[in-house]
Chain A
Amino acid sequence: MTMPLDLSTSLVESLAHTRLRDCYQCGKCSAGCPAAERMDLLPNQLIRLVQLGRVEKALRAEAIWECVSCMTCTSRCPKAVDCAGVLDALRQLAAQHGLVPASQHRTLVFQQAFLDNIRRNGRLAELELVGHFKTKAFLGDLNLPLLMKDAFLAPKLLKRGKLHLLPGKVKDRAVVERIFQRCQEPTNGVP
């Protein structure tokens, strides 16, 4: 079996560079959150769980993947808690520890495909990203309509000069690879 997880309030605080213990649960973050109605746990509830040391429950929440990173919570917090930063930290830990709910795998797969793409090219190659994301997502959920969706978008984008079959690559891609290697986080159980 897996090792017990070493997940503490302090770990989340250090990743997010914010004192989430300052939160006094006014709920302003959740009140202004555009994704709140799609969340199983609200932003202030996620923060409360972390305050109480129940980090693993927060990491398993669907809510952290429904967040659209709009920064409204962070901008409005009366205690200057970087709530969006806390959700970033929770996403990173959830991905590292393989705790992402199956219903949210598409979002994780997309973000991972995005990073892999930059690692290879230095800049985003959109067509390649769409191909990799759709293939990986399909292998995960076998959702054929989602695989085929947008298939007719490509010619429309091409016509408008919005699709580049051979996108410009960074000259010094070796340095991009070295930057990625130096930023590599320890992983265990990444799906």
Chain B
Amino acid sequence: MEIGYYPGCALHGSSADYEMSVRACLGALGVSLRELDDWICCGATAAHCLNHKLAVALPARNLALAERDGLKDLLAPCPMCSMELLKADRAMARDPALRRKMAEIVELPIAGKTRVCNLIQVLYEVGLQRIAEQAQVRLETFKPACYYGCLLTRPADVLRFDDAEQPRSMENLLTALGAQPVDWNYRTECCGAGMTMANETTVLELSHKILSNAAAHGANCLVVACPMCHVNLDMKQADIERRFGMAHGMMVYYLSDLVGLALGLDQATLGINRHFVVRK
């Protein structure tokens, strides 16, 4: 199976380990990724904060490129990117005048034929049963706290994925692979997202609560499907520990890391050795 792939800026930058992990994991499952040619940034928080027109136009250009290249499915492993793409798609679907205006702005027609999906959706399309059958390692030692954060499920009417308050898709997948996900409270609370540079205090406080709650419920690792969540919980973990005077030592995996390990891939192939917090 070949699907379109929108990496987004993070996966080609500070979250290069996430791209390694996604490519390796999906590759082992027979899913190859065709990168969208000459994709541009989705605009992220900066665009929707400062320029609502640009916040539609930047994702719209990418949707138009996908259509031009005949990509029906477009995987955006970053939930910020996938949410912005879906939001622009829905705004144009609701407003034909906006669709015409955007086609002029981005210099390409946009019919609205692209289906944007996240990593979890692609794994479910492969099928839980097939992944479990292909697995070579049972994830029995893993007690993950599955962390969805914000934009995998919110806003619910744009994303239309899982349950915005009580999502279970990651737990169900990892349970099928032998892991023992824990029940905990912060599964859909925000880690501070893209405020890491601009408002670090908020990020450290919110992420500290997430790490603490996961540990209090017996988790021995966190699992995320978002590059920003990973930056805040993994890369900033040492800063969090300094600020709050306590050690978390919590491994933070991408979902594709754990699925990849179950499929028999090694840590280096999945980029796990590139994380900041590593198992001692």
Give A contacts to B, CB under 8 Å: 15-17, 34-35, 38, 65-66, 68-72, 74-75, 82, 84, 88-89, 91-92, 95, 106-107, 109-112, 114-115, 118, 122-124, 126, 130, 133, 156-157, 160-164, 167-168, 170-172, 175-176, 178-180, 182-183, 185
Contacts and interface: CB of A to CB of B under 8 A. Distances in A.
B4 interface: no
A125 B267 CA distance: 28
B33 interface: no
B12 A123 contact: yes
B14 A107 contact: no
A183 B190 contact: no
Q: Which of A162, A164, A180 has the most CB of B within 10 A?
A: A162
Contact of B41 (A38, A123, A160, A172): A123
Interface residue range, chain B: 35 or more
Given A161-B274, A179-B54, 7 more contacts: A69-B48, A111-B46, A118-B43, A122-B41, A164-B13, A164-B16, A167-B12
A110 B43 contact: no
B202 interface: yes
Contacts of A156: 276
Q: Which of B14, B17, B104 has the most CB of A within 10 A?
A: B14
Interface in B17-57: 17, 38-41, 43-55, 57
B77 interface: no
Given A92-B51, A122-B41, A126-B9, A157 B14 contact: yes
